[in-house]
Amino acid sequence: MPVHRSEPPRPRRPHLAGLLLTAVLSLLLATHPSPAFADDPPPVGETPPRGSAHMGMGVLAHDGTDGVPDADLAAETEGVDVSSHQGDVAWPTLWDSGVKWAYVKATEGTYYTNPYFTQQYNGSYDAGMIRGAYHFATPDTTNGATQADYFVDHGGGWSRDGKTLPGALDIEWNPYGDACYGKTPSAMVTWIRDFLTRYKARTGRDAVIYTATSWWKQCTGNHSGFASANPLWIARYASAVGELPAGWSYYTAWQYTSSGPTVGDHNRFNGALDRVVALANG
45: number of Cβ within 10 Å: 5
Catalytic residue among 81, 108, 149, 206: 81
- Are the C-beta atoms of 279 and 165 separated by less than 8 Å? yes
Residues paired with residue 268 on neighbouring β-strands, in sequence order: 78, 254
CA 5/CA 136 separation, integer angstroms: 78
Residues of the chain by 3-state class (helix, strand, coil), percent to 5: 30, 20, 50
CA 151/CA 202 separation, integer angstroms: 10
Catalytic residue among 149, 172, 206, 265: 172
Residue 158 sits at the vertex; the CA angle it makes with 155 and 163, to the nearest 5 degrees, is: 105
Beta strand pairing call for 65-66 and 264-269: unpaired
Catalytic residue among 63, 108, 170, 265: 170
Is 81 in the active site? Answer: yes
- Are the C-beta atoms of 65 and 215 separated by less than 8 Å? no
What DSSP line would sit under 179-203, residue for residue?
A: TTTT--HHHHHHHHHHHHHHHHHHH
Is 172 in the active site? Answer: yes
Pick from 144, 196, 142, 143: nearest CA to 166: 196
CA 156/CA 198 separation, integer angstroms: 12
Residue 37 sits at the vertex; the CA angle it makes with 33 and 41, to the nearest 5 degrees, is: 95
Beta carbons within 8 Å of 2's beta carbon, 6+ residues apart: none
Q: Which residues are catalytic?
A: 81, 170, 172
